[in-house]
Structure 1
Amino acid sequence: MERYKNYHRAFGVYGICVQQGKLLVIDKNGGPYINRFDLPGGSLEEGESLVSALHREFEEETGASIHVKNLIGTSDFFVKWDWEPYTHVHHIAVFYHIDVIGELDQNPTQFEGQDSTGVRWISQNQMSEETSSPLVLKAMKWMFSNEFNFNAEVYNNWIVKK
């Protein structure tokens, strides 16, 4: 695999919630996955544990609480993204299988750093590289095969949809 020298490293935790064959996603409004479906989750704050961050991020982006069922795995992605001064992002993601507790908020509270404009359930036929982040594509593979590929995935032809 090609080694990228000019990249931004991002690390986050993400929840995979499946109900009746559909995946819970957010409408992303920032970063290299803008205007695509993405998994609820995100970066850790100072001194925050992985699971605490997942609970906080999930509530911020969906309005609901969660029950963490189990750790699925960790994977990473290299995505082409011209974000001065970087040319790529190296996204490291920890995936958890979760259940939603309570009602989802279709219009999450907006604040600086909020990257969700809404939440929805999508089916497999709605998931593609054109419509979804690499995290959603990884979740889809796990949903339908119950297998998790830990290998890094490279998206050199990624187009950021403005």
Structure 2
Amino acid sequence: MRHLRTATHPDIEHLDQCVIKQRTATRAICIDGESILLMHTERYDDYTLPGGGVDEGEDLLNALVRELEEETGANNIRRIKPFGLYEEFRPWYKDDADVMHMISYCYSCHVDKELGENRLEGYEKTNGMVPRWVNIHDAIAHNQNTIANSAKKGLSIERETYLLELIAKELL
């Protein structure tokens, strides 16, 4: 899979003396015309690609399908193709490490436009996550506005906005 970008959070000065926790995730790119299936998170007021962590021993494609079904209720997931890998180093706030090394494997795929019931985890419900088909250019503009003007933005918004801009450039 092609390497899209490596991003390091500005609060991280040196990685050589940090304890690093690695996390692997998958992210789904589902496009219909200029609409893209995204998760809107009320807590951070941002749009993100559906996806999440790969369980130990789980295949990447199985994780992608599982996460997409759980978060969005997507049906008939098909024509899965690798898009690229986004790597990031960001602060970790638990006692077991200083830095999280997140590797996100992004795949394009097709799903039915009509979504079924999703099965969000507790923290996803608490954060107000909702799946939505959104015009990709509107989602990019929304995230850019959140980056510029919101104190409540999450750590992932830069990754998500970069990916949305690349998707718009390459897949539309």
Task: Give the conservation status (yes or no) of the 8 Å contact 1:108–1:118.
Answer: no
Does residue 126 in structure 1 map to residue 142 in structure 2? yes
Distance 1:26 1:146 in 2: 21
Q: Give the secondary structure class of the aligned counterpart of 1:120.
A: strand
- CA shift digits 1:105-158 (9 cap, x unpaired): 4x73344575773111332322226266234223212223219xxxxxxxxxxx
- 1:74-85 aligned at under 5 Å gives the runs 74-85=85-96
* Higher CA-based Rg: 2
Task: Give the conservation status (yes or no) of the 8 Å contact 1:16–1:24.
Answer: yes
| Residues 1:111 and 1:73: Cα distance change in structure 2 (over 3 Å) | closer
In structure 2, list runs of 5 or more residues that go unmatched: 1-7, 148-152
Greater fraction of residues in strand: 1
Does residue 27 in structure 1 map to residue 40 in structure 2? yes
* Alignment-derived partner of residue 169 in structure 2: 145
- CA shift digits 1:34-78 (9 cap, x unpaired): 623221111222332111110111000001132243101112012
- 1:64-143 aligned at under 5 Å gives the runs 64-65=74-75, 66-101=77-112, 103-105=114-116, 108-112=118-122, 114=124, 117-122=129-134, 123=138, 124-128=140-144, 130=147, 133-143=157-167
Q: Give the secondary structure class of the aligned counterpart of 1:60.
A: helix
Could you tell me which of 38, 56, 66 is aligned with 1:56? Answer: 66
Greater fraction of residues in helix: 2
Deviation at 1:20, TM superposition (A): 3.1
What percent identity do the matched residue pairs reach?
25
In structure 1, list runs of 5 or more residues that go unmatched: 148-162
Distance 1:137 1:96 in 2: 16
